[in-house]
Amino acid sequence: MSYSFKNVVLLVVFNYSNCTCNKDVILKLYETYFKKIIFYSDLPEILDDDINYININRGYNTHNIFKHFYNKYNDLINESDGLFYTMDDNIINVNILNLYLNNKIIYFHNELTNYEKRNEEWWYTPYGLNAVKNLINDSEFKRFNIDSFCGGNGYVGFSDFFYLPKKYLIKELFDLFEIFSKHEVFLEIAVPTIINNIEKNITGYQHFTHYNAWPNRDFFIYKDNIFNSANKDHNLFLHPIKFNQNPISKEWLKEIFCKEKCVIITTINKPSETILKHINNTEYDVIIVGDNKTPDDYKSLNCIYLDISTQKKLFPELTDLLPYNHYCRKNLGYMYAIKKGYEIIYETDDDNIPYDNFDNILLCNNIQIITEQNNRWINIFKYFTNNAYIWPRGYPLSLLKNNPNYLVEDTLLKPSIINGLVENDPDVDALFRIICNHQNSIHWDTNKKILVSNNNVCVFNTQNTFWLNASIFICMLIPSSVSFRYCDILRGIISNIILKKTNNYMMYSSPNVTQYRNEHILINDFKSECEMYIHNENILNFIEDNINKCNDIKDIIVCIYNNLLTNSVITTLDITILHKWLEYF
């Protein structure tokens, strides 16, 4: 079982060879998500060595390709996890593709009946009832023991896509396609009949939604309709999108599906200046994770909006495990982004306004590394403020009076995580705000970056953080059984340990955002932080227990969580959530 199609073969079919000019945009959309893309097209041939040309009668007899595919690409089939098939005008929503399993069918579980009882329109064409009668009288067909059929009305019998796991990709399947093709049984009868006969149990199928625009052929000539169908309704398939009729749609699809960077925000507030500024940045997708109190405004904005109903649709089990009205709902945004395959994931909050050049901190040249030599914990705020009296939320209170002893050296190491500091209202704890309250007058060094030694533990939050290395995206999980004011800090401590064990590094930079803090009741923040003050005093004494026995990053994170459970930092809820989270990797 895997939530990935990276080892799956994608079969793309052009009904008309004059559409093969769109091959490159199809490659651009899909090539990073599949093992190999194989192209087929109807005649006449157009010079292109990457395309197999076969007479499929303008799509009426597309199943004619499958036996050829089986014979030519048998080794590829044997090495793969399954076969995904789509017509060229049927768009797969790769933003959510990897939220589906590769060991279950993606297709409709349709009713099978005696062919004489079918009354859909396709049964009254030359490729319908008469073709089926010829088929069932074929002695070769009788060996398949098929006496029930389905499909034919363009919806129930939809034939523009399917996914079959490897266990179904046997010779008999392709023989079935061949004999249906031999008798020219219409594709929208053949495909649903074959698939629903090889797997009759509904548990072998996955639930998904799609949008079929055939009743309204002009629907997908509008960019907003494509965007909303993919990123608001979260349909797995959009059909049909005709590139030759609307060439600009190719650019729209690349914009919708091919960005490499995203911003993740969870909020219960109306769209803020921060959110609107990120949405206007065309280099990033913006993922908004809703909670019970989140207003509906985001449904009309140019963002990927994960409201509660969408969360239940895309992550049914994980959604129900995560508490509502808790910052941990952001985990669903992380999972969406990870499975989408973004190269850079930026997390922030709705009250951190980015500088115009906020992501210049990604330019990592002439880096130095800092080590705190007197303690394992490092107060990074002091380094950026010329030793001012300030500390970040999560830094142990018992160390506040300690003077730093920094060693700074040049390094060729590169960061896997980059944390930007925050101008105006930095992330200090409630005690600092109640007792000191001079955070607004702190002067931060500018144009400064520093890598943190893995000999130290440096707290960081989720307010202004870039994740650059997909191999550690698994660490983004925010614990759910601790308080709102501790959950992101605890996630950061866990990540520190994993960085060390996997030879990855974190970097801090001078401020690149300005925070105008949402309203907080400080005494409530203090109550929420109490467990953080207590646990962080000795958390390093046990968090790494038995970790040297771990073989990979999954084992490491499980070990850390078990240590936290044993020492009453988290509850069994987080263990349950963690195991569900790990199923996606």
pTM of the model: 0.96
pLDDT in tens, 49-61: 899 999 999 988 9
Region 382-386: what's the mean pLDDT?
96
- Please give the pLDDT value at position 258: 98
pLDDT in tens, 173-187: 999 999 999 999 999
Region 296-313: what's the mean pLDDT?
98
Kindly list the domain boundaries of the chain, sorted by start residue. 8-208, 259-350, 354-461+470-512+520-533
Region 99-110: what's the mean pLDDT?
97
- Lowest mean pLDDT, pick from 36-45, 152-161, 221-230: 152-161
- Measured between alpha carbons, how far is 236 from 231 in angstroms, rounded to an integer? 10
Total Cβ atoms within 10 A of residue 179: 19
pLDDT in tens, 260-297: 999 999 999 999 999 999 999 999 999 999 999 999 99
- Measured between alpha carbons, how far is 147 from 133 in angstroms, rounded to an integer? 11
Question: Can you name the residues that pair with 83 across neighbouring β-strands?
Answer: 9, 164
- Measured between alpha carbons, how far is 498 from 476 in angstroms, rounded to an integer? 11
Q: Which has the higher per-residue pLDDT, 416 or 365?
A: 416
Residue 518's pLDDT band (cuts 50, 70, 90): confident
**What value does the mean pLDDT of the chain take?**
96
- Please give the pLDDT value at position 155: 54
Q: CA separation (Å) from 408 to 348, 441, 452, 457, 487? A: 28, 26, 10, 16, 30
Residue 154's pLDDT band (cuts 50, 70, 90): low
Residue 117's pLDDT band (cuts 50, 70, 90): confident
Both tokens assigned to 584: 């996606």
- Measured between alpha carbons, how far is 449 from 383 in angstroms, rounded to an integer? 10
pLDDT over 70, % of the chain: 99
pLDDT at 156 > cutoff 80: no
